[in-house]
Structure 1
């Protein structure tokens, strides 16, 4: 997928399809109703929580983000403002986390009263995603020293793009952020049907790798899977502001799943402001809709699909120790680069989560997304995710 800013990551195909029946934005955001968002918002809206969005910047002119975006920093081109987003990816992700709904016409975030700290990790002239790794490392450290509680990384680097030195520095930055009480979430990647590479930072110890599920809680085919997946969240048929076009798009990707997981964490954390990232993560793992078959954690959905209402509305889940990250024992082996054979997970049918009524809190399976523009539907190829590679774009 290709557009001007991130040449190896995003693209749009303009294939026009027949007009679709008009839907309200709320109907398009199916996962909010499935997750009982309205009921949760009576208890928690994410107020007091800041989410650092490590991405392409955030466009503060978006109506959904008015008054929500802090100054932030561009970690790749310091002379440029992180509150601009020539690509649009970081803006779309931020809306899913904290959008205000723009009077019912725009995207409503799962944590509508959370704030966004934009940290730009992609240079406007960079053609290779590999060049963004130093920016990512610096951004994690910047976020660790900031007031942000949650670090959202809707991006992924295949293992072969991260050299040993960079990987060591990346792990040290993650360790530092965890020691500062932060919660780090990263997308697992959208390459599950082809190479299914291990990706970083999702595979770094202490980071919660997020895959995408469909509305039946079945793991999507496009999500990268493996031992680095900790949680799953809705990841298809997710409306976002279109990139490069007017209107709103129906999209898919683990970028979206990661943003929704960050919003869920913000709701829990706002209800329990004295907790730290380790405790919020532990509760998310305990209350997740578990796989209906196979081992836990699952290679496809980790400890399960996020269900924040179990804590927000029912006070389920034990925070446990603030000093222990619940993922570190499960992510044994450290940050060493895997071999090619290690990067290919064994093929099996995608797993499902809980079959309870909560099972509708899901994503999808990788079909082409749809674009809403004035009564017409435009097919968009790929999915919205910064899966950075030159030879095989997502």
Structure 2
């Protein structure tokens, strides 16, 4: 069976995290897209005091109840620097789907390391990055190349499935784009069916790009996370929001780990891991709790912002780790965000339709997979073009059947007159 790899002429390659590091000379050290992050190299002696998200989310209070121990969070991204001192001992062997070799514990971009540090950084006795779930383990799945880009959403789909098959209980997708991907939708359903919580960023505003919440954040069942300004309850100016928005978290003025040190970053890419860390805290406190109940707990305990109730700007509001760990609440039968009627690919709703442009255009960020480990995944997966052709063929056969049946009915009518 042929593997279709979609590549568009006028459409830019799918872009990863917007992350810019400015060195002492003021020249960009890393640049992906122009609109998202303005970052500066961070001095070690100011790192701790600048981690305002820990104060905003009352981390020390939350750690009385859980620290993320025995929970694995998959970071589907640019890889994770497993040798970084703030992540020492926290990064499990993963997979590099870009090179086809390696275990995902190198990061040529820095984005995945930043995401991982916000989740599980452990600077116990040093002035370094502290994650919100400091005892969670990180499973790195690399899908972004050295330019922080990928060409096909299929690589992210493979990364999601690989992460599920290799023990992830929470998946962080700090990536997205304007087009839907049936392959990625099926992979996310695969995760839901296997009791995994999936979190994604809503996306960042960029010139000449759609302002719609990115995919896969808008896939039903996924916790779509937008970003807030530092020490305010206002929306970060670069955040994309819309009806699919579920939760909000700090997004700018953040300190992140990067290969060789730390830096200041901003973007919804870095708000999402704070929600992933909160999910890890909840799963650590209640190991038997279903993913659907974890999602329900996160949205029902959020600190409501903006209009009363869920709204298009903030979703249900600011994620609240302490409330999520302490408020009494009953279990639910299914993920309350997944409003697709079963049956679907995995019993959690059908994949979204294929768009005219092929369904995979736009800016994106992260993913990964391991060679020879394709449990539940065809060795040569069918791409969107192949699926589209099958859909057209099926539709044509149905239409032909309707025409023939109609003609037969008319003929019988005139015979009986």
Tell me, yes or no, whether TM beats 0.5. Answer: yes
Match for residue 308 of structure 1 among 321, 342, 352: 321
Which residue of structure 2 lines up, in the alignment, with residue 249 of structure 1?
A: 263
| TM-fit CA distance, 1:298 | 1.3
8 Å Cα contact 1:53-1:118 kept in structure 2: yes
Partners of 1:67 and 1:54 in 2: CA distance = 19
8 Å Cα contact 1:60-1:84 kept in structure 2: yes
Structure 2 CA distance for partners of 1:9 and 1:38, relative to 1, 3 Å? closer
8 Å Cα contact 1:37-1:110 kept in structure 2: yes
**Which structure 2 residues correspond to residues 180-259 of structure 1 after superposition, within 5 A?**
180-191=194-205, 195-214=210-229, 215-242=231-258, 247-259=261-273
Answer with 1 or 2: which has the greater Rg. Answer: 2
Which residue of structure 1 lines up, in the alignment, with residue 385 of structure 2?
A: none
- Tell me, what secondary structure is at the counterpart of 1:217? coil
Match for residue 337 of structure 2 among 319, 324, 327: 327
Q: What CA deviation, in whole Å up to 9, does each residue of 1:300-338 have, x standing for no partner?
A: 1111110010132x33444322xx111112899962367
Matched, 1:264 2:286: no
Matched, 1:72 2:94: yes
Aligned length: 326
Partners of 2:262 and 2:148 in 1: CA distance = 26
Matched, 1:175 2:189: yes
8 Å Cα contact 1:171-1:335 kept in structure 2: yes
8 Å Cα contact 2:217-2:224 kept in structure 1: yes
Partners of 1:302 and 1:10 in 2: CA distance = 25
Which residue of structure 1 lines up, in the alignment, with residue 49 of structure 2?
A: 27
8 Å Cα contact 2:21-2:40 kept in structure 1: no
Which residue of structure 2 lines up, in the alignment, with residue 152 of structure 1?
A: 172
Which residue of structure 2 lines up, in the alignment, with residue 116 of structure 1?
A: 138
Partners of 1:127 and 1:62 in 2: CA distance = 19
Unaligned runs of 5+ in 2: 1-14, 27-38, 342-348, 358-363, 368-417
- Tell me, what secondary structure is at the counterpart of 2:246? strand
- Tell me, what secondary structure is at the counterpart of 1:288? coil
- Tell me, what secondary structure is at the counterpart of 1:386? coil
Which residue of structure 1 lines up, in the alignment, with residue 78 of structure 2?
A: 56
| TM-fit CA distance, 1:145 | 1.6
Which residue of structure 2 lines up, in the alignment, with residue 140 of structure 1?
A: 160
Partners of 1:28 and 1:172 in 2: CA distance = 39
Which residue of structure 2 lines up, in the alignment, with residue 371 of structure 1?
A: none
Partners of 2:177 and 2:57 in 1: CA distance = 30
When structure 1 is superposed on structure 2, of 149-158 and 31-40 the one drifting more is: 31-40
- Tell me, what secondary structure is at the counterpart of 1:197? coil
Partners of 1:247 and 1:80 in 2: CA distance = 22
Q: What CA deviation, in whole Å up to 9, does each residue of 1:15-51 have, x standing for no partner?
A: 6599999964222111212222112212210001100
Partners of 1:292 and 1:127 in 2: CA distance = 34
Partners of 1:110 and 1:76 in 2: CA distance = 29
**TM-score scaled to structure 2, two decimals?**
0.71
Match for residue 301 of structure 2 among 287, 293, 300: 287
Match for residue 96 of structure 1 among 90, 115, 118: 118
8 Å Cα contact 2:213-2:245 kept in structure 1: no
When structure 1 is superposed on structure 2, of 330-339 and 260-269 the one drifting more is: 330-339
8 Å Cα contact 2:119-2:133 kept in structure 1: yes
Unaligned runs of 5+ in 1: 1-5, 341-384, 389-394
Partners of 1:27 and 1:9 in 2: CA distance = 24
8 Å Cα contact 1:187-1:255 kept in structure 2: yes
| TM-fit CA distance, 1:261 | 0.7
Q: What CA deviation, in whole Å up to 9, does each residue of 1:289-308 have, x standing for no partner?
A: 113426x4211111111001
Aligned-pair RMSD on alpha carbons?
3.2
